[in-house]
Amino acid sequence: MQRLYRKRIVLGVGGGIAAYKSAELVRRLRDHGAEVRVVMTQGGREFITPLTLQALSGHPVHLDLLDPAAEAAMGHIELARWADLVLIAPATADLMARLAQGVANDLLTTVVLATNAPVALAPAMNQAMWADPATQANREQLLARGIRLFGPGSGSQACGDIGMGRMLEAEELARAAADCFETGMLTGKHLLITAGPTQENIDPVRYITNHSSGKMGFALAEAAAEAGARVTLVTGPVFLPTPDRVQRIDVVSARDMLAACEAAMPCDILIAAAAVADYRPEVVAPHKLKKDPSTGDGLLLQMVRNPDILATLAGRTDRPFCVGFAAETENLLEYAARKLRDKNLDLIVANDVANPSIGFNSEDNAVSVIDRQQHETRFGQASKGHIARALVAFIAERYKES
């Protein structure tokens, strides 16, 4: 179940007897490649020890909202931003009621309010509590707000009753969590995505490149595959694993990248997240350059323009829906809008790379998307995985309207 690979899951553990199953759930999620951070309510701690879940998740368990030491390590806002999914298992009747009302009186309910990630609950309670009109009204309200419910199942209960209210088994919950990452928005579409830097050789041992890590482009490829697209990812030299169900083509220089993209055409949507070198040395020295006393302390390299991959593909007769990125350190929106026009794009993603916490080689990003009518849509700071899923959803919408 590759869909959980490298997904960040905050597992909330409420105070119900089914909390013993949460230990197995942590193991299953991790077996499928997810990273898990556990948040326990006061009630949850009465049923299973934080130490057990710490040992199984490999990380300290988060317990209190007002604990300065815990907040300094990874506070509630960071946890909320970190998560790709917040899964609460077991979700008691009390937790469902508090979440339905938007109450934030402990760490778990606060994380739920603060996160942009999908939230899913695995209800677990006595059958009469589940059937109670108050719980059913809360259930309706949670569903209306987009919160997912996994189960409950039916059967014999710890209290001796038989009926609805059993928490689903760990493997069923892991599968349901994986399904959260499938959207189907781009089923049947071919997406071509460029990522990473290019390297332009100076001689056999030296090259010119930039700080792109490929994280943004790879996250987009993963999100596009989750949306059901066939994805071709053309990437410069990076140290990242290939996302599941993505066809990866490794290249080195800008000219290699253009050739690989042209070979991958036609496509429905092109997303150019690569940081392509605009120039390359005109001549690549056949042997390692030696210090030359006749040039003093200097070295002059004659550079020539590289082809513009995005503009080239946007100029073809079988032109795809074209989305560019603009990495800028000043006049972000103005320069991005100019690139949208000059390269004949449908959308451009403006990326402020002057801020080291977003942009090149960071875990997070924050971007604005500009369309041909100069409308700006802002995507606030979040992990590149989050941003990628939000961007893919946005691009899919705009593509359908085009």
Based on CB atoms, which residue is closest to ligand PMT, 288 or 338? Answer: 338
Residue 377: burial class (beta carbons within 10 Å; 0-12, 13-18, 19+): middle
- Which residue do the tokens 């000059």 mark? 342
Using CB under 6 A as the binding rule, whether residue 116 contacts ligand PMT is answered as: no
Using CB under 6 A as the binding rule, whether residue 233 contacts ligand PMT is answered as: no
**Number of residues in contact with ligand PMT, rule: CB under 6 A?**
29
Structural contact between residues 37 and 10, judged by C-beta atoms closer than 8 angstroms: yes
Query: Shortest approach of ligand PMT to residue 364 CB, angstroms?
Result: 10
Contact region with ligand PMT (CB under 6 A), list: 99-107, 136-144, 153-161, 209-217? 209-217
Q: CA 340 to CA 83: how far, in whole Å? A: 32
Single-letter residue type at 207: Y
Contact region with ligand PMT (CB under 6 A), list: 59-67, 74-82, 129-137, 356-364? 356-364
Cis peptide before 60 (omega within 30 of 0): no
Task: Name which position in 351, 386, 396, 398 contacts ligand PMT (CB under 6 A).
Answer: 351
Using CB under 6 A as the binding rule, whether residue 392 contacts ligand PMT is answered as: no
Helix (H) or strand (E) holding 120: strand 119-123
Query: Shortest approach of ligand PMT to residue 81 CB, angstroms?
Result: 17
Task: Name which position in 112, 117, 275, 347 contacts ligand PMT (CB under 6 A).
Answer: 275
Query: Shortest approach of ligand PMT to residue 194 CB, angstroms?
Result: 6
**Which of 399, 345, 356, 401 has the alpha carbon at shortest distance from 381?**
356
Using CB under 6 A as the binding rule, whether residue 390 contacts ligand PMT is answered as: no
Rg (CA), the chain: 25
Structural contact between residues 270 and 322, judged by C-beta atoms closer than 8 angstroms: yes
Task: Name which position in 215, 280, 389, 398 contacts ligand PMT (CB under 6 A).
Answer: 215
Task: Name which position in 14, 123, 152, 359 contacts ligand PMT (CB under 6 A).
Answer: 359
Q: CA 29 to CA 52: how far, in whole Å? A: 15
Query: Shortest approach of ligand PMT to residue 338 CB, angstroms?
Result: 10
Output phi, psi for 299, to 5 deg. -145, 125
Using CB under 6 A as the binding rule, whether residue 325 contacts ligand PMT is answered as: yes
Q: CA 226 to CA 58: how far, in whole Å? A: 27
Contact region with ligand PMT (CB under 6 A), list: 23-31, 87-95, 244-252, 354-362? 354-362
For residue 300, give every residue at least 6 positions away whose Cβ sits within 8 Å of its Cβ, in sequence order, or none: none
Task: Name which position in 278, 334, 342, 376 contacts ligand PMT (CB under 6 A).
Answer: 278
Using CB under 6 A as the binding rule, whether residue 306 contacts ligand PMT is answered as: yes
Exactly one of 159, 180, 267, 322 is catalytic; which is it?
159
Query: Shortest approach of ligand PMT to residue 253 CB, angstroms?
Result: 10
Q: Are strands 321-328 and 246-250 parallel, antiparallel or unpaired?
A: unpaired
Based on CB atoms, which residue is closest to ligand PMT, 36 or 269? Answer: 269
Based on CB atoms, which residue is closest to ligand PMT, 157 or 194? Answer: 194
| DSSP 8-state secondary structure symbol assigned to residue 331 | S
Q: CA 233 to CA 272: how far, in whole Å? A: 10
Output phi, psi for 80, to 5 deg. -65, -40
- Which residue do the tokens 């556990």 mark? 38
Question: Which strands form 35-40's sheet, in the order they lie side by side?
Answer: 35-40, 8-13, 85-91, 119-123, 148-149
Using CB under 6 A as the binding rule, whether residue 364 contacts ligand PMT is answered as: no
Say whether 267 is catalytic: no
Contact region with ligand PMT (CB under 6 A), list: 38-46, 93-101, 271-279, 387-395? 271-279
Using CB under 6 A as the binding rule, whether residue 232 contacts ligand PMT is answered as: no
Using CB under 6 A as the binding rule, whether residue 216 contacts ligand PMT is answered as: yes
**Of 56-95, which residues contact ligand PMT (CB under 6 A)?**
none
Single-letter residue type at 188: G
The sign one gets for the Cα dihedral 209, 210, 211, 214 is: negative
Structural contact between residues 236 and 196, judged by C-beta atoms closer than 8 angstroms: yes
Q: Encoding tokens for residue 371?
A: 């369309």
Query: Shortest approach of ligand PMT to residue 334 CB, angstroms?
Result: 13
Query: Shortest approach of ligand PMT to residue 355 CB, angstroms?
Result: 11
Q: Residues with catalytic annotation?
A: 159
Instruction: Tell me which residues touch ligand PMT (CB under 6 A).
Output: 194, 196, 212-217, 254, 272-276, 278, 306, 308-310, 324-327, 339, 351, 353, 359-361
